[in-house]
Structure 1
Amino acid sequence: MHAMTLRLSPGDDVRAALDHAFHAHGLSAAFVLQGIGSLSVARIRYAGRDDAAELHGELHGDLEILTLAGSLSAQGPHLHISVSDVDGRVFGGHVTPGCIVRTTAEILAASLPDVRYTREHDPATGFAELVIRPA
């Protein structure tokens, strides 16, 4: 396992930046262990809402990233986030495109060189689920 720290800048899309870092470093499998920072926009798919057209929870304003974790594979990231707004209310779910960094995001990720992650259709769930293979 190799740990790496990423710092995202204002205006960066969290999901796109992590996907870019995964491919730019030529990784086969990685995990986001934790992330903190702030967002100006959070686009979150809430639990049980599997249709992207059902629209995401979209929050605007000064938002703090409380947690960020997930897996990174060649098919893209699978990330979960919790954020709080200026009143301390907490929202969480799947990170979708459009989570925009406000001031900074500091993310700790670990690459796993001995394995390869893919996402493949699982008939039991109906979703593309994580498949772990030797590298």
Structure 2
Amino acid sequence: MTPLRLPPGTDLKAGLLALLAQPAWADGAFVVAGIGSLHGARLRLAAADAATEIAGPCELLSLQGTLSTDGAHLHAALADAQGRVWGGHLLDGNRVRTTAELLLAPLPGWRLSRAADAATGYAELVVRPRT
């Protein structure tokens, strides 16, 4: 497992995906845990087609998911400034406010990717042994 901190101003999703340009991360990883704060947030809620925008500062209560060179599938739980909790798919455009503290798990011997799944209509996780 690898701990990581993303600094203020970093786009959370893009910052994580940028790791995959490094050879050590090229096969993908699981995001096991994440906490921190954001300048507002953009989530796609369950079964929604459009983004939900959460204004103002947010606390990142939890972040989990997968990273591959084909993209990320990340779920987040956030609290807005009034303490309301929101949860859903993390989209692009979530800027770190003070910090994002993360725990990542690369999987030696395995390669993560995403491929279209006719049953769901989404690009779903594909796990293969690394050759």
- Same fold per TM (> 0.5)? yes
What does residue range 17-36 of structure 1 map to in structure 2 within 5 Å? 17-24=15-22, 25-36=24-35
Asked if the contact 2:25/2:106 (under 8 Å) is kept, the reply is no
1:76 CA displacement: 1.3
Question: Residue 134 of structure 1 aligns with which residue?
Answer: 129
How many matched pairs?
A: 129
- 1:98 is paired with a residue whose SS is coil
1:60 deviation in Å?
2.1
Q: If the length of structure 1 is used for normalisation, what is the TM-score?
A: 0.91
* Pairing 1:68–2:67 present: no
Aligned to 2:37: 38
Corresponding position of 1:12: 10
C-alpha distance after superposition, 1:22-81 (max 9, x if no partner)? 2224430210000000001211011102x3xx3x11112121011000001110111000
Question: What is the TM-score of this pair, normalised by structure 2?
Answer: 0.94
What are the superposed Cα offsets for residues 64-120 of structure 1, whole Å, 9 maximum, x if unpaired?
011000001110111000100121100010010001100000000010021111111
Give unmatched runs, 5+ long, in structure 1: none
Alignment check: 8 A CA contact 1:41 1:98 kept: no
Structure 2: where are the runs of 5+ without partners? none
Q: Percent identity?
A: 49
SS of the counterpart of 2:82? Answer: coil
Instruction: Check the 8 A contact 2:115/2:125 in 1, yes or no.
Output: yes
Deviates more, 1:16-25 or 1:32-41: 16-25
Report what 1:121 is aligned to: 116
RMSD across aligned C-alpha pairs, in angstroms?
1.1
Amino acid at match of 2:102: I
In the alignment, the residues of structure 2 paired with residue 105 and residue 40 of structure 1 have an alpha-carbon distance, to the nearest angstrom, of 12
Moved over 3 A (4+): none
Counterpart code for 1:44: L
Q: Determine if contact 1:69/1:80 at 8 Å carries over to the other structure.
A: yes
